[in-house]
């Protein structure tokens, strides 16, 4: 039985118990959320060393780090390093998006070494094989795609991105819309281009039950991809995007009826004032399924710093109800991220998620800030470092620049406001 089927049968699985313990929620809260489909626990029966994590309503906002080779960069070692970096920095999930080298080998090594949930985009593997077999990604067959999906699921992948909602109707609406950046989802562009070239409906939509059967066998959570996500602010919340979202809502319902866990992916690039509306719309159209978002980036001009544009959008989105943030690294729009980019991307997303968790009232979130603030008021640097999101960085910056004023830091020295207030303004 999948986690969803178990929850509906009233069973508390080991994974639900783990999630409840981690989140400070009752096991019944978790079971009910999984049964309702407002919480997913991506946990492939074949991912042996996984520590189960929940994603959804009332839980801590989770962060995913994308790693993986490209046709230009990366090898197994570099991606294994990125995996460790992401986990150490605090990522709750890692997606292997490899498109270069021996994909099967890389994926299996990553699953084997990961205690956090692993996601993939199987169409990339089908695309790589199509380049080898037929000379072009676009020449892949429907069977190639389903074979890749089956292989990923059997290997132990916990969630897969599948662009099931990019229907012919959605592509028609895209063309009628007229966009600046067309499609910028990699998997989505392959799917849509394939449909155009072969004059066929999306096989993942048309044979959705076949997909559900594969996912159910291993309890793989479907992450319904948003092929039509806006690639720039000007394309935000347009008819193509919302057309696809409506379809994703229908597919959420079918997945749940089938006993398959499901979440929905979202934008992308959005002006700040459209973010909350996007989250509310997704929740409404998709029966409150967990929402997994990429960004949203709140400006298009900051390449080199898109972990920051994404942290701004991600915090607003998470505060409005988004459950799962896919990190964006400083290398986004420019190059394949390196290990430092991976670290910085995870930290930026964790900040966004935590800031949102405070206002969402997630158990324990505000308490940590209060503890930190008390340590700060006491000029207790050791406790501050321990409570910091990144204790290594904390100590590095603090210790590098010496102070001669007891307990103060080098920024204020003798002008330390806390010492001044302590001396003269005690209550």
What is the total count of residues that contact a second copy (CB under 8 A)?
A: 113
Residue labelled with tokens 């749940």: 256
- 156-181 burial, b for 16+ CB within 10 Å, e for fewer? bbbbbbbbbbbbeebbebbeeeebee
For position 152 contacting a second copy by CB under 8 A, the verdict is no
Helices (H), 290-416: 306-320, 339-360, 365-377, 381-387, 391-400
The region of 9-17, 19-27, 139-147, 324-332 touching a second copy under the rule CB under 8 A is 324-332
Strands 62-67 and 324-326: parallel
Shortest separation between residue 77's beta carbon and a second copy, angstroms:
16
For position 377 contacting a second copy by CB under 8 A, the verdict is yes
Mark 75-104 with x for binding to a second copy (rule: CB under 8 A) and - for no binding. Answer: ------------------------xx----
Shorter beta-carbon distance to a second copy: residue 10 or 361: 361
Q: Pick from 10, 77, 257, 370: which binds a second copy (CB under 8 A)? A: 370
For position 53 contacting a second copy by CB under 8 A, the verdict is no
The region of 4-12, 39-47, 207-215, 326-334 touching a second copy under the rule CB under 8 A is 326-334
For position 413 contacting a second copy by CB under 8 A, the verdict is yes
Question: 294: helix, coil or strand?
Answer: strand
* Neighbouring-strand partners of residue 67: 96
Residues of the chain by 3-state class (helix, strand, coil), percent to 5: 55, 10, 35
For position 192 contacting a second copy by CB under 8 A, the verdict is yes
Residues numbered 59-78 forming contacts with a second copy, rule: CB under 8 A: 70-73
Shorter beta-carbon distance to a second copy: residue 109 or 198: 198
The region of 30-38, 46-54, 81-89, 390-398 touching a second copy under the rule CB under 8 A is 390-398
Q: Pick from 138, 154, 242, 379: which binds a second copy (CB under 8 A)? A: 138
For position 347 contacting a second copy by CB under 8 A, the verdict is yes
Residues numbered 249-308 forming contacts with a second copy, rule: CB under 8 A: 271-273, 298-305, 307-308
* Separation between Cα atoms, residue 311 and residue 307, nearest integer Å: 6
For position 340 contacting a second copy by CB under 8 A, the verdict is no
Shorter beta-carbon distance to a second copy: residue 18 or 125: 125
Shorter beta-carbon distance to a second copy: residue 17 or 303: 303
For position 164 contacting a second copy by CB under 8 A, the verdict is no
The conformation of residue 274, written as its DSSP 8-state character, comes to: G
Shorter beta-carbon distance to a second copy: residue 190 or 289: 190
The conformation of residue 72, written as its DSSP 8-state character, comes to: S
For position 38 contacting a second copy by CB under 8 A, the verdict is no
Q: Pick from 32, 334, 364, 407: which binds a second copy (CB under 8 A)? A: 334
The conformation of residue 220, written as its DSSP 8-state character, comes to: P
For position 352 contacting a second copy by CB under 8 A, the verdict is yes
Shortest separation between residue 377's beta carbon and a second copy, angstroms:
5
Shorter beta-carbon distance to a second copy: residue 51 or 376: 376
Nearest to 296 by CA among 321, 277, 331, 272: 272
- Secondary structure of 2-67 in HEC code, one letter for each residue: CHHHHHHCCCCCHHHHHHHHHHCCCHHHHHHHHHHCCEECCCCCCCCCCCCCCEECCCCCEEEEEE
Shortest separation between residue 274's beta carbon and a second copy, angstroms:
9
* Neighbouring-strand partners of residue 64: 93, 326
């Amino acid at each position: 039985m999948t986690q969803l089927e178990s929850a509906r049968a009233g069973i508390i699985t080991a994974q639900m118990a783990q999630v409840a313990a981690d989140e400070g929620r009752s096991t019944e809260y978790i079971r009910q959320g999984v049964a309702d489909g407002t919480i997913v626990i991506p946990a492939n029966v074949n991912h042996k060393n996984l520590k189960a994590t929940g994603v959804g309503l009332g839980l801590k906002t989770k962060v995913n780090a994308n790693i993986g080779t490209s046709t230009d960069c990366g090898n197994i070692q570099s991606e294994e390093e990125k995996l460790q970096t992401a986990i150490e920095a605090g990522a709750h999930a890692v997606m292997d998006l490899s498109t270069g080298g021996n994909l099967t080998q890389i994926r299996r090594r990553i699953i084997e070494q990961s205690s956090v949930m692993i996601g993939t985009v199987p169409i990339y593997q089908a695309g790589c094989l199509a380049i080898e077999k037929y000379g072009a990604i676009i020449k892949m067959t429907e069977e190639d795609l389903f074979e890749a999906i089956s292989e990923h699921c059997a290997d132990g992948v916990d969630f897969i991105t599948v662009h099931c909602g990019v229907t012919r109707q959605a592509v028609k609406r895209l063309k009628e819309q007229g966009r600046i950046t067309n499609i910028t989802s990699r998997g989505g562009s392959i799917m849509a281009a394939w449909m155009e070239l072969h004059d066929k409906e999306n096989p993942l939509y048309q044979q959705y039950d076949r997909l559900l059967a594969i996912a159910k066998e291993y309890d793989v959570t479907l992450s319904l991809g948003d092929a039509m996500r806006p690639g720039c602010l000007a394309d935000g919340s347009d008819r193509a995007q919302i057309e696809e979202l409506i379809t994703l809502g229908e597919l959420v319902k079918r997945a749940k009826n089938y006993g398959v866990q499901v979440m929905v992916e979202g934008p992308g690039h959005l002006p700040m004032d459209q973010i909350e509306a996007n989250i509310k719309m997704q929740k409404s159209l998709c029966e409150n399924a967990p929402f997994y978002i990429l960004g949203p980036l709140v400006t298009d001009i900051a390449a080199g710093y898109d972990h920051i544009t994404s942290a701004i959008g991600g915090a607003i989105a998470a505060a409005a109800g988004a459950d799962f943030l896919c990190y964006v690294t400083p290398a986004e729009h420019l190059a394949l991220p390196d290990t430092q980019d991976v670290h910085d991307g995870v930290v930026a997303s964790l900040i966004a998620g935590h800031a949102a968790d405070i206002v969402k009232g997630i158990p324990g979130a505000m308490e940590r800030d209060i503890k930190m603030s008390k340590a700060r008021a006491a000029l207790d640097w050791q406790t501050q470092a321990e409570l910091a999101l990144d204790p290594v960085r904390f100590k590095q910056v603090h210790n590098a620049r010496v102070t001669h004023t007891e307990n103060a830091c080098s920024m204020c020295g003798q002008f330390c406001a806390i010492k001044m207030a302590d001396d003269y303004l005690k209550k």
